[in-house]
Amino acid sequence: MNYIETDGVKIVLRNFGKIDPLKVEEYVARGGYESLKKALTAMTPEAVIEEVKASGLRGRGGAGFPTGLKWSFTKKDADQKYIVCNADEGEPGTAKDRLIMTGDPHGLIEGMAIAGYAIGATKGFIYCRGEYTTSINTLNHAINQARENGFLGENLFGTDFTFNLEVRSGAGAYVCGEETALIESIEGHRGMPRFKPPFPGGAGLWGKPTVVNNVETLANVPVILDKGADWYKSIGTEKSAGTKIFILCGNLRNTGALELPFGMTVREVMETYGGGLLTGRDLQMVHLGGAASGIMPPALIDTPLTYEDLQAVGQGLGSGVILAIDDQKDFMSYICSNTHFFEHESCGKCTPCREGTARINEILHRIAAGDGTLEDLDNLKDLGEMMQISALCGLGQAAPTPVLTSLEHFMDKYVEAVSGKKNEVNEEAVATEAIHKSYYEAAPIKLD
Amino acid sequence: MGCCQPIDKVTAIVEQYKGEKGALIPVLHAVQKELGYLPKDALETIAAGLNIPASEVYGTTTFYTLFSTKEKAENIIRVCESGPCHVSGYQKVLEAIKEELNIEVGEATEDKKFYLEMTACLGVCAEAPAIMINDKTYVNLTPEKVKALLASF
Ligand SMILES: Cc1cc2nc3c(=O)[nH]c(=O)nc-3n(C[C@H](O)[C@H](O)[C@H](O)COP(=O)(O)O)c2cc1C
Ligand code: SF4
């Protein structure tokens, strides 16, 4: 994965490219595991939670929930609690957690041990997506080294705190990034989301209180304890503290991942680090935040990349993807590929999402085939809004976002596709659908 | 000869994980790695060994796209079709693979050397278009590059 160097402050990628990730001693030489030592020997669990709360750290998995607050909601009395790291990184366009896991695995391990101490968990799981074989191998290697060096295991730093860590491999299901589906998957079941409440903090993995945090979230924690909440809060903006890894991809001159303080605008990042679009091309749209986030029109690219500014214009930061799409790419075929994705990934547990994703995909492909009507556009909106309020989990609630935001900002393209002379067959979108239809597994085998 | 039957390998894997919480998915991964896919008798052995109903083992197996209950081929090609690869032109790479191997998506070559399928994001989006062959990811592909890559297998 391309990494784009910047001049600014680095937090989660502070060691990236500066150490050999397979050598724990190099991590230690740069101050590694000092924060864990500080937490265990000089701070109470409550003090750790307070520090993280005060830092303003918000979850980097997509929802942006305040991390310290989440930790403080964990049920107090329980014979066993768990900390789970969400390393499923399934959001299309997202390639950030893998950088941390392969470039600085001990940063994540240290963050998890500190989180475990803070909430009272003695065991942690890293649920890593199955395709990330290098990340899984690197993490396992690092966990062994940490254990051999007394950073994992029993009586850490001479205290009575014990913490062990295990990597579990996913098996190819986007929905398993949803925290309760992820828990189901670790337990060995189909990755279908649970009804909430109870929330994982009350009853999660095997019914025990569980905190689920993203890789990037946890990798911030050692630095917060080392440099303090005030230092951390001074980076970024008031409501979006710290840095974020962004992934520049699509039709830009330079593409890659980079760590930046919150607050630059989409345009600034695309121009300064992405080098802008290829000569002679114009920006059609930016798909910001991942497949489940909004489609941003060029008119909004001066919005700063912060939780609050994006929310104010009806957009979201999601997982940090900045996918630039130029004017030579076919609009409808892009939208169709997106709706196809959600139809495929819906787990089927609840009707609004199972049916909604299928019908939305069907309507869009009908439009692409030249058979769309204006009524279809109303139906898309109705279906999308129905899913937002009634789907069981975040997948179904967010799946219609690209369709709804593009209807809002690109209605002219939809109207053109369904009306008058322009009501033509969109070869590219139809060809894409033909690919999609052909790849489901052959007849399942029967068990007695 | 007991030790060399595939099903004995399955039994050995199950023994290794038995008693661990949530052992099913790690066992499925390990068995698929050993056998290349998850045939019916392997699933039945796993079910009996882990004391889980066979229906549940089957339900879990078929929920996940990385598990396969049918034998595919020696090498599995997965072409990413997510947004970044879409706008970077995966379609041309896919066409090149289909042409070179003379198969459609969801098919294996006659000699069972390659099987072709689509996948969602592989997490290397800044270097799109990307494909995976077995457990390795290949990036920045063009029709020419992918043909050369296939020839190297
Ligand atoms: C369909 C779906 C997929 C998700 N995928 C991921 C993912 O790949 N990685 C992740 O960290 N969070 C993902 N999330 C969000 C998690 O449910 C959860 O909010 C997050 O892991 C919490 O961690 P954080 O508070 O540190 O952000 C997903 C949510 C949904 C609904
Ligand atoms: S919203 Fe979709 S993914 Fe979520 S539970 Fe319902 S069907 Fe499953």
All structural domains of chain A: 24-233 (3.40.50.11540), 243-326 (3.10.20.600), 331-440 (1.20.1440.230)
pLDDT of residue A420: 62
Measured between beta carbons, which residues in chain B are less than 8 angstroms from residue A90? Answer: 120-121
How far is it, in rounded angstroms, from Cα B92 to Cα A280? Answer: 22
Q: What is the mean pLDDT of residues A353-358?
A: 97
User: Between A185, A248, A291, which is nearest B83 by CB?
Assistant: A291
- Nearest CA to A225 among A316, A355, A113? A113
Q: Could you tell me if residue B68 is inside a domain? A: no
Measured between beta carbons, which residues in chain B are less than 8 angstroms from residue A432? Answer: 81, 86, 91
Q: What is the CATH number of the domain that holds B83?
A: 3.40.30.10
Measured between beta carbons, which residues in chain A are less than 8 angstroms from residue B121? Answer: 90-94, 291
How far is it, in rounded angstroms, from Cα A193 to Cα A351? Answer: 13
Report yes or no: A284 and A327 within 8 Å, Cβ to Cβ: yes
Q: Describe the crossing of helices B40-50 and B54-63 by its angle, rounded to 10 degrees.
A: 120
- Residue A56: pLDDT over 80: yes
- Choosing from B63, B85, B101, the residue where a domain stops is B63
User: Between A133, A249, A347, which is nearest B84 by CB?
Assistant: A249
Q: For residue A333, what is the nearest residue in chain B, using CA coordinates? A: B86
How much distance in Å is there from the Cα of A249 to the middle of ligand 2? 28
Task: For ligand 1, say whether the CB of A58 is within 6 Å of any of its atoms.
Answer: no
Q: Could you tell me if residue B124 is inside a domain? A: yes
Band of residue A432 on the pLDDT scale cut at 50, 70, 90: low
How much distance in Å is there from the Cα of A213 to the middle of ligand 1? 8
| Residue B38, domain extent | 6-63
Tokens of A360: 């939305």
How far is it, in rounded angstroms, from Cα A306 to Cα A264? Answer: 8
How much distance in Å is there from the Cα of A216 to the middle of ligand 1? 11
Same domain for B84 and B117? yes
Band of residue A415 on the pLDDT scale cut at 50, 70, 90: very high
Nearest ligand 1 atom to alpha carbon A216 = 26
Looking up tokens 């993490």 gives A139
Say yes or no for a CB contact (<8 Å) between B123 and A89.
Answer: yes
> For testing the chain A interface, which of B55, B87, B95 should be mutated: the one with the most A CBs within 10 Å?
B87
What is the sign of the dihedral through the CA atoms of A192, A193, A197 and A203? positive
Q: What is the mean pLDDT of residues A13-32?
A: 96
How much distance in Å is there from the Cα of A60 to the middle of ligand 1? 8
Q: Supply the DSSP string of A330-380, one letter for each residue.
A: -HHHHHHHHHHHHHHH--SSSHHHHHHHHHHHHHHHHHHTT---HHHHHHH
pTM summary value: 0.94
Q: How far is B2 from chain A (nearest CA, A)?
A: 24
Ligand 1 pocket mutation pick from A98, A214, A319, A354 by most atoms within 8 angstroms of CB: A214
Same domain for B52 and B99? no
**Residue B89, SS3 per DSSP:** coil
- Choosing from B15, B43, B63, the residue where a domain stops is B63
ipTM of the prediction greater than 0.90, yes or no: yes
User: Between A1, A130, A326, which is nearest B126 by CB?
Assistant: A1
- Residue A237: pLDDT over 80: yes
pLDDT of residue A61: 94
**Residue B78, SS3 per DSSP:** strand
- Residue A231 vs residues A16, A55, A234, A263: alpha-carbon distances, Å: 21, 8, 5, 17
**Count of domains observed in chain B:** 2
Report yes or no: A200 and A179 within 8 Å, Cβ to Cβ: yes
Share of chain B above pLDDT 90, in %: 86
Report yes or no: A303 and A402 within 8 Å, Cβ to Cβ: no
Same domain for B18 and B56? yes
